[in-house]
Amino acid sequence: MRAGDVCQLAAELAIEHGSDALEYARCATLKYQFEGRPDRAFFWFSLAVLLDDFAEQRLDPLSPVTLH
């Protein structure tokens, strides 16, 4: 999955589910870490970072995200 796709997915989750999406992403990160699946844990961690930025209004889910 490309970085832009992850950003778009996070934005859609934030708009649709609000803070519940962030909680789910955090739980999924811990679950996959515990199961020894670092690739999946990293994916959910990445989503959680973006969802946290949306929740704290550091990013706007309706605006494109620029990655450097």
59, two tokens? 């990013």
In a domain, residue 50? The reply is yes
Q: How far apart (Å, rounded) are the C-alpha atoms in residues 52 and 4?
A: 17
Residue 36: both structure tokens together: 């020894």
Q: Does any domain span residue 60? A: no
pLDDT tens digit at each of 68 positions of the chain: 888 899 999 999 999 999 999 999 999 999 999 999 999 999 999 999 999 999 999 989 888 877 77
In angstroms, the CA 54 to CA 38 distance is 24
pTM of the model: 0.88
Please give the Cα distance from 52 to 34 (Å, whole number).
22
Number of domains in the chain: 1
Given a contact cutoff of 8 angstroms between Cβ atoms, the answer to whether 10 and 64 are in contact is no
Evaluate whether residue 61 is within a structural domain: no
- Is 68 a domain residue? no
